[in-house]
Amino acid sequence: MTTFVLIHGAYQGGWIWKPTVEQLLAKGHRVFAPTLDGCAERKGQVRAGITTESHAEEVANFLFYEDLKDVVLAGTSTGGMVMARAAELARERVARVVFADALALMNGEALPDIVKRPTAVNTELTSGPSRQDFENRLFKDLDPALRAWAIERCTMHPIAAMTQPVKLERFWGQTWNASVIWCKQSTNPPVAHQRRCCETLKGRWHELDTGHYPMLSEPVALARLIAEG
């Protein structure tokens, strides 16, 4: 049995991992998919000061208080940024990291350096796409029923996590058991960005012929890659 902690990306919550969680549980693994501060069912908590680093501290504290060890962390999209920082903070508890079509920023880089978001709808505290953008671009490759289910659950994301540079003083200088899963139909994060991550970490490279939300479109294949590394 392996312990997995799955970290969601922007506009999401732990809910997005549901089909993948079910696959991993069916194999006898222990799986957690927490919703980060200010997201999904915690959207009522959104406020100034929620950052990639505060999200990562949440995850690291979760590992500590649950006393989880030899954990496999898997992050998707902006969850890759959170995962890297959480792994840095809780190095002794992390056995492996999986970047699932995820952002892997270097220290001091910010999301706009890598990803352009021309349709972003910003408020003082949050950022996110329009519903039309979810339907016509982000979730366009999903089955219509699944697309509707997902859109109903999407929420705006704390804006500082989408705009501020990340702080990773140690992660990229440490040795990690790592893998990168590139989704071939996904535009962002760019394949060159994900290749850089894999090469820097000397990790294993995997490909899925699907879009940016493999936990919904290809949960069986994604669960297998996460489990096998």
pLDDT tens by residue, 170-183: 999 999 999 999 99
> Tokens standing for 177?
């058991």
Alpha-carbon radius of gyration of the chain? 16
Give the model's pLDDT for residue 100. Answer: 98
Least confident of 8-22, 104-118, 188-202: 104-118
What is the rounded distance in angstroms from the CA atom of residue 182 to the CA atom of residue 160? 26
Give 108's DSSP letter: T
Kindly compute the dihedral angle of the four CA atoms of residues 188, 190, 195, 200, in this order, to the nearest 10 degrees: -80
Average pLDDT over residues 104-117: 93
pLDDT tens track for 115-170 = 887 667 899 999 998 878 887 778 888 899 999 999 999 999 999 999 999 999 99
Global pTM reads: 0.96
Give the model's pLDDT for residue 133. Answer: 81
The topology (CATH level 3) of 3-228 is: Rossmann fold (3.40.50)
Please give the C-alpha separations between residue 27 and each of 5, 16, 96, 116, 178, in angstroms, as whole numbers.
15, 19, 18, 38, 21
Give the model's pLDDT for residue 136. Answer: 76
pLDDT band at 41 (very low <50, low <70, confident <90, very high): very high
Give the model's pLDDT for residue 123. Answer: 93
Give the model's pLDDT for residue 119. Answer: 66
